[in-house]
Structures are given as structure tokens and as C-alpha cells.
């Protein structure tokens, strides 16, 4: 099994503040990795560096052996934690925009995903609830035939039933030649999908490994490990 993503001694500083400090891990091809930690732990900064939106202060990231740049942006489909869809667009127009911008965008897959999400192309973004906007954004991200999907807190606007249905649908159709990096605080609900987990705190890794190995070694679920590692931090319940 080849490593799709390799993070090597990654550090990111803002003036005197270290957002990331000496972070290293590998994400194998075909795996889904949970990137876990409370707010301010460095998850979003790490994801943006892997996506090629931020530059590290030190260290390296490799995607298919290539450092983030124009070449890797064509292989990475990134869902940021903030909605960036223009409110005047319809859902279908957002799909047209992605189709024009990304060579790997598949319009027919987008239509199929909209059906799964219960959305119609003619619906205006401005008329959608927060949960429906999240569904539209997930449809756009997964309509690309990317090698790496990066999702930053993707399920916050969805009700529990919708989350389960969407997760099951996306994972069932997940390709073996792609990988997924997901940050979430809804650990208990999504941990069943994780092949690997990385726990971040104050910009550094405090626990990492294959999810099944960690469960066996520590005789605990990933959610229980989260509570043990962070103690005072509560996981979000559904």
C-alpha cells in the first residue's frame, strides 16, 4: 500500500505563535483519516497547508510525492470550514462553476449526489438552510474525481439522521485509489469510518496510529481516547 500523503516535521509559525510544531504522519492510499482535536489545536492550519493554501515555516508535505502547488491542487478536493458559495447562485450554477474550474468535476455524479442529498439544481443558495448548504458543498467536493479529499468540520450543519445517511452514501462510493482527511469533533458518530487517527493539541501530535490498533492497545473507542487525551474538552454529541 502506497502513501498518498506524507507530512514531514511540519511547523507553522505566526510571529511568535506556533500553530503547528514538528508534525509528521503518513496517509495511505485508500484510507480515511480522522484529524482530531479541540478548537485551536492546529487542524485547520494543517489542512490548509496540505491543500496548498498556506506555506509552512519549516518541514514538508508531499502528495503523490509532489509538494503542494498547482500540480497538487488538481488532485485535492478541499471543503473549508467556512461556506464560500455565492448566495446569488443556484445549486446548478455552482456546479457549472466547479465544472469550468476543475477538469476532474463530473456533472453526472454531481446530479446523482444532489438526489442523495435531496437538493434540486434550480434551488438558490440564498434560500437554503445551513444544513442544505452543507449538503450542496459536500456534493460539489465529492463530484470531483480527486485523489485526496480534505474535509474541515463538514457535518456541523446537518441533523443526525442526515449525517448518517450522507456518510454511508459517501463512504460506500469511496474509491480505493483516493484518500480522505476529515477533521471533526463529532468523534463518536464518525469514528467507525476511520482507518487512521491523528490527535492534535497546541499544534503537536499527542496520539496517532491505525484506529483498530489503538482501540486494541488502549481497550477504548476513539471517542473514549478523545476524552482521555483532552480531558476537559467535550466531544459534540448527536
**What is the C-alpha to C-alpha distance for residues 153 and 156, in angstroms, rounded to an integer?**
6
Task: Please state which CATH number belongs to domain 3-75+147-230.
Answer: 3.40.50.300
Q: Which residues contact 31 (CB under 8 A, 6 or more apart)?
A: 4, 179, 180, 195, 196
Q: What are the angstrom distances between the C-alpha of 123 and each of 112, 166, 210, 232?
A: 16, 19, 41, 42
pLDDT tens string, the chain, 238 residues long: the values are 689 999 999 999 988 889 999 999 999 999 999 999 998 899 999 999 999 999 999 999 999 999 998 888 889 999 998 888 899 999 999 999 999 999 999 999 999 999 989 999 999 999 999 889 999 999 999 999 999 999 999 887 777 877 887 888 788 878 889 999 999 888 888 899 999 999 999 999 999 999 999 999 999 999 999 999 988 554 444 3
Q: What is the CA radius of gyration of the chain?
A: 18
What is the per-residue pLDDT across 87-123, written as a single tens digit (0 to 9) for each? 999 999 999 999 999 999 999 999 999 998 999 999 9
pLDDT confidence of residue 236:
46
Domain boundaries, the chain: 3-75+147-230
For residue 238, what pLDDT is reported? 37
What are the two backbone dihedrals, phi and then psi, of residue 208, each rounded to the nearest 5 degrees? -160, 155
Sheet of 58-63, strand order: 17-28, 3-14, 58-63
Amino acid at each position: 500500500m502506497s502513501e498518498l500523503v506524507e507530512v514531514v516535521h511540519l511547523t507553522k509559525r505566526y510571529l511568535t505563535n506556533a500553530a503547528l510544531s514538528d508534525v509528521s504522519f503518513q496517509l495511505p492510499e485508500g484510507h480515511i483519516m480522522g484529524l482530531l482535536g479541540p478548537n485551536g489545536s492546529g487542524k485547520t492550519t494543517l489542512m490548509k497547508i496540505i491543500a496548498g493554501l498556506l506555506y509552512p515555516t519549516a518541514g514538508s508535505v508531499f502528495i503523490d510525492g509532489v509538494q503542494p502547488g498547482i500540480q497538487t491542487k488538481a488532485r485535492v478536493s478541499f471543503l473549508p470550514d467556512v461556506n464560500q458559495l455565492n448566495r446569488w447562485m443556484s445549486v446548478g450554477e455552482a456546479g457549472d462553476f466547479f465544472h469550468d474550474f476543475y477538469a476532474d468535476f463530473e456533472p453526472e455524479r454531481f446530479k446523482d449526489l444532489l438526489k442523495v442529498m435531496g437538493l434540486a439544481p434550480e434551488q438558490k443558495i440564498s434560500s437554503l438552510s445551513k444544513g442544505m448548504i452543507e449538503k450542496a458543498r459536500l456534493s460539489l467536493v465529492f463530484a470531483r474525481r480527486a485523489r485526496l479529499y480534505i474535509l474541515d468540520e463538514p457535518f456541523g450543519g446537518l441533523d443526525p439522521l442526515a449525517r448518517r445517511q450522507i456518510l454511508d452514501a459517501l463512504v460506500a462510493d469511496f474509491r480505493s485509489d483516493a484518500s480522505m482527511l476529515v477533521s471533526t469533533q463529532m468523534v463518536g458518530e464518525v469514528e467507525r469510518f476511520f482507518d487512521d487517527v491523528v490527535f492534535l493539541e497546541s499544534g503537536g501530535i499527542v496520539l496517532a496510529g491505525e484506529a483498530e490498533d489503538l482501540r486494541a492497545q488502549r481497550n477504548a473507542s476513539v471517542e473514549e481516547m478523545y476524552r482521555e487525551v483532552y480531558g476537559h474538552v467535550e466531544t459534540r454529541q448527536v
